[in-house]
Amino acid sequence: MPSPNAAAAPFIKICGVRGGNDVATALAHGASAVGVMLTKSPRQITWEQARAVVEQVGDAALVVGVFHGESPDEVREAAKTTGITAIQLHGVYRKDDFAALADLNLPLIRAVSGSATDLEAGAYGDSMLIVDAPKPGSGETWDYRPLKGQLTGHWMLAGGLTPENVHRALEESGAWGADVSSGVEAERGTKSPEKIAAFLAAARKK
């Protein structure tokens, strides 16, 4: 189970990267993890591209493969082929689905909407929990303040986060970390190195 050291806290995941400058910038500014979309998405990449990201990152951060709707068998095949170092199951997955992947010995991340009723990190055998906006993946802002004090452990806030609001969002939600995609893009599906750098700096501002 990865855990940020004091200098790197909070845990920050830059999601929807494609490789190259996206990843280089994220690593240079201390991202804890980068996410590659291995499911239908404007940010989807091929398994070959995902392997290249894994090689680029090495052991500097987690490379999280993001899945939405794929079966555990499909996730397993993708994980073994690409070499991703963590798995994120987004949406309606059961405890059995997480159990079916436990033998891979990779961190399992459960991503759910903030309107879900089972907001407990580790409840499904997951290593981390992502709590997203009521419309997951929309990039829309939402009221996460009621979560403070209700959730504990390794959970990340997502949804509508930007370099301008991430510091306040972490303080107001009490989240252990943050997950961002559209908030660090120049346009849909294309990352902005400047925004990635600004997001990481703002998230860890003292």
Residue 205 lies inside a defined structural domain of this protein: no
Domain count within the chain: 1
Residue 9 lies inside a defined structural domain of this protein: no
Look up residue 9 and give its DSSP letter. Answer: P
Residue 180 lies inside a defined structural domain of this protein: yes
Which structural domain, as residue segments, surrounds residue 49? 17-190
Residue 2 lies inside a defined structural domain of this protein: no
Residue 115 lies inside a defined structural domain of this protein: yes
Tens digit of pLDDT for each residue in 118-161? 888 999 999 999 999 877 666 677 888 889 988 989 999 999 99
Residue 129 Cα distances to 95, 100, 206, angstroms: 13, 18, 24
Q: Write down the pTM of the prediction.
A: 0.93
Residue 146 lies inside a defined structural domain of this protein: yes
Residue 142, domain CATH = 3.20.20.70
Least confident of 26-35, 109-118, 123-132, 154-163: 109-118
Q: pLDDT band for position 1 (50/70/90)?
A: very low
